[in-house]
Amino acid sequence: MGHFATRRALHKLLIALSLSQDYLYAQRWRAMKFVILLILLSLSACGGGGGSDTAQGTAPRISNLLLSPNTVYYMDGDGATQISAQVDFTDPDMDITTAYIQLADGSTTTIPVPAMNLASGTLLGELIVATTQLGVFTSEVWLVDAAGHTSNHLSVDLSVVVDVTTWLNRTPANLTTGLNDVIWSGSLFVAVGDVGKIVTSPDGITWTSRTSGTTQRLHGVYWDGSRFLAVGDGATILSSANGTSWSTLHTGAAEAWLQAVSYSGTRYVAAGSLSSAAYMLTSVDGVTWTENLTLPQSGRSVSGLAWSGQLFVASAMAEAFPNEAAVLVSQDGLTWLEVLVSVDSPTTLCVMWDGSRFIAGGIGGRLFFSPDGMNWTEVATPSSSNFLALAWSGSTLVADGVVGNAVATSDNGATWQAFNVAGLYDTKGLAYGANRFVSVGGGESGIIYSTR
């Protein structure tokens, strides 16, 4: 856990504070300097123990320790941004001498306070904080007077979060084909697209083209923990351990389109469409693939796949647009059951598992949540677009698709942020990694956007 900056850098950013009194007159004090040091700690509540009164004097007290704003965006100000800080104090003895700030490792920074001769007031100032780490950062502050009396302790939190409303164009100059999906492995983004296009990036910002060995359109990409798998037209399945060198595992009928691939730990499933119906291949080793001939057939093809640790769920795109949305579910990847999601929505277009629930996206800004893949609840969003892609950061869900009308929520859908990634741009794949969301898509020419 690191500080927002080193102590040396912070001491160079000492903040000149002004003081306001509760008397009939106001005084301005120009000599005092003060720093609130924000450090990475566990979340803690404001408040704490107070000082004790003695015959020799009275302990000072502080209240209303505030930061404004108390939430800032990751990489705001190119890595550092300014916030306001204030704390109220009372000091009947008018003899505060030192401000204390608790550090992450348990050590304490002390800042001398010249004599103020004020019984009460508010310390105000501006603070430069780093925005290069995501998380909740907590500072704890207290004062000590000349007699050694200690004030109560107060703590305040500053959250550094991803700005999902600001997207930057990261498209490399040589990207001339559309992209359809993107995945994060923990150290590398891999995006796939038309005519066998594959590009990779360690950070979502700088992208490099790779040779895939195929000219088939690639629709989906997956990381199984040790290798990438990419799937596409002609029942094409590719594999790569590093995202750089790719080999072909399987090809099949030209009319068989694979849209997605997933892995349970014991069985791989690659799925899509054949003759406007669901089509699926399975493998226990990722090398030998077998067609599954027992799928439910109700005019739906598979558009996405997710594995929860116990259950596969496949989003099911209705070819004839019946007035019912459904998903396919399976425990073993072999036997599949069609499950109704909504009676008045025609299709589901994408699906993911966020660690505690399945999320399916569909037509007209529809999202559906399910803890078990069997029971689904529709969640209203402020979008009317068709959602083609979903991504989860660990705290924030982003859904996007046609013409870039995206939504995000960090409270399970209770509130939403609505935004546009980039004009009429269509997001076809989303992923989160390296502290940012990445969106890929485009038409004849590929486009890549990411958050800061």
Separation CA 367–CA 444 (nearest Å)? 28
Q: Same domain, yes or no, for 224 and 352?
A: yes
What pLDDT score does 163 carry?
Answer: 93
Question: Do 195 and 113 lie in a common domain?
Answer: no
Q: Range with the lowest mean pLDDT among 72-86, 126-140, 178-192, 216-230?
A: 126-140
Domain that holds residue 208: 167-451
Work out the pLDDT band at 389, boundaries 50, 70, 90.
Answer: very high
DSSP string covering 321-348, please? --S-EEEEEESSSSS-EEEEEESS---E
CATH number at residue 301: 2.130.10.10
pLDDT tens for each residue of 106-164: 667 787 877 778 899 887 777 788 888 898 888 888 999 999 999 999 998 889 999 99
**Does residue 38 carry a pLDDT above 60?**
no
Output the CA torsion 367→371→374→379 (10° steps). -20
Residues 119, 213, single domain; the answer is no
Contacts of range 371-374, beta carbons closer than 8 Å, 24 or more positions apart: 372/311, 373/308, 373/311, 373/313, 373/327, 373/329, 373/339, 374/329, 374/339
Q: Which of 108, 143, 161 is the last residue of a domain?
A: 161
121 and 182 share one domain: no
Length of the chain: 452
Residues 6+ apart with CB under 8 A from 92: 57, 58, 119
Q: What is the pLDDT of residues 247-267, one digit of tens each?
A: 999 999 999 999 999 999 999
Q: Which is higher by pLDDT, 410 or 318? A: 410
Domain annotation covers residue 17: yes
Band of residue 31 on the pLDDT scale cut at 50, 70, 90: very low
**Residue 1: which pLDDT band, with cuts at 50, 70 and 90?**
very low
Q: What is the pLDDT of residue 106?
A: 66
CA angle 236, 401, 269 (to 5 degrees): 30
Question: What percent of the chain clears pLDDT 90, i.e. is strictly above it?
Answer: 63
The CA–CA distances, whole Å, from 225 to 193, 246, 254, 365 equal 22, 16, 29, 32
pLDDT given at position 50: 45
Domain end call among 116, 145, 161 = 161
190: confidence class by pLDDT, cuts 50, 70, 90: very high
Evaluate whether residue 2 is within a structural domain. no
User: Does the pLDDT at position 438 exceed 60?
Assistant: yes
- 372 and 248 in a single domain? The answer is yes
Could you report the per-residue pLDDT of 79-112, keeping only the tens digit for each?
Answer: 999 988 888 999 999 999 988 877 556 667 787 8
Q: Which residue has the higher pLDDT, 51 or 329?
A: 329
pLDDT at 4: 34
Greater confidence (271 vs 298) lies with 271
Task: Evaluate whether residue 1 is within a structural domain.
Answer: no
**In terms of Cα–Cα distance, which of 205, 160, 163 is closest to 2?**
160
Domain end, chosen from 140, 161, 182, is at 161
Mean pLDDT taken over the chain: 85
Torsion, Cα 90 91 97 101, to 10 degrees, reads: -30
**Total structural domains within the chain:** 2
Q: How high is the pLDDT of residue 3?
A: 37
Residue 236 has a pLDDT of 98
Are 12 and 141 part of one and the same domain? yes
